[in-house]
Each structure stands twice: as structure tokens, then as C-alpha cells.
């Protein structure tokens, strides 16, 4: 399964939690201890077990384009790769 990474523009977030509901990996949450310049609790990315798949649902559902998702590209596994240092 591919891995993803999420970048959040916290100051643009209005804390509606649509993205929190959309994330099937449960790695987004409202940051209850933070308030942004707009007066909202922004979301935070909590993913210690690296479960984000990069599916992009959170970015698609966000009405304010707060989230950017990066997805790790899959590369074919190589057997017996030898790196020679000269």
C-alpha cells in the first residue's frame, strides 16, 4: 500500500472537521489546544504508525483547499542490488 504525507495550511483551516470524517485511516484530528488567526481549532496530522495511504480524500473534501497530499511513488523491488563505493 502506498504511503502518503499531508501538509496542512493551518491558518486557512476553519475547523469544520469534514476531512477528519473522510479519513478512513483516522490520522487527522482537530487540534484542541491550538487556535489559528481565524479563531478556529485547525486540524493536525497524527500518524505515528504511518498509516496515511495518500488517498487524497481529505484534500478533495476540504472546501478551503487547506490540505496538500503527497503520495510516495512505488518502485519495483530489486533483488541482489549491489552498490559499489570506490
Nearest-angstrom CA–CA distance, 43 and 85: 45
Stretch that binds ligand SF4, among 8-16, 31-39, 76-84 (CB under 6 A): 8-16
The SS3 call for residue 14 is coil
Q: Which is nearer to ligand SF4, 28 or 76 (CB)?
A: 28
Q: Where are the beta strands (DSSP E) in the chain?
A: 4-8, 28-30, 43-45, 67-71
Geometric angle at alpha carbon 30, from 26 and 35, rounded to 5°: 160
Nearest-angstrom CA–CA distance, 10 and 15: 9
Q: Considering only residues 3, 18, 29, 34, which one is a binding residue for ligand SF4 as defined by CB under 6 A?
A: 18
Q: Which is nearer to ligand SF4, 71 or 84 (CB)?
A: 71
Binding mask 43-82 for ligand SF4 (x = CB under 6 A): x--------xxxxxxx---x-x-xx-x-------------
Q: Which is nearer to ligand SF4, 70 or 85 (CB)?
A: 70
Amino acid at each position: 500500500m502506498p504511503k502518503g504525507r499531508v501538509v496542512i495550511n493551518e491558518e486557512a483551516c476553519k475547523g469544520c472537521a469534514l476531512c477528519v470524517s473522510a479519513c478512513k485511516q483516522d490520522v487527522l484530528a482537530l487540534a484542541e489546544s491550538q487556535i489559528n488567526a481565524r479563531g478556529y481549532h485547525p486540524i493536525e496530522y497524527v500518524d505515528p504508525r504511518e498509516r496515511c495511504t495518500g488517498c487524497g480524500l481529505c484534500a478533495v473534501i476540504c472546501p478551503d483547499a487547506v490540505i496538500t497530499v503527497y503520495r510516495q511513488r512505488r518502485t519495483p523491488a530489486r533483488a541482489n542490488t549491489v552498490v559499489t563505493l570506490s
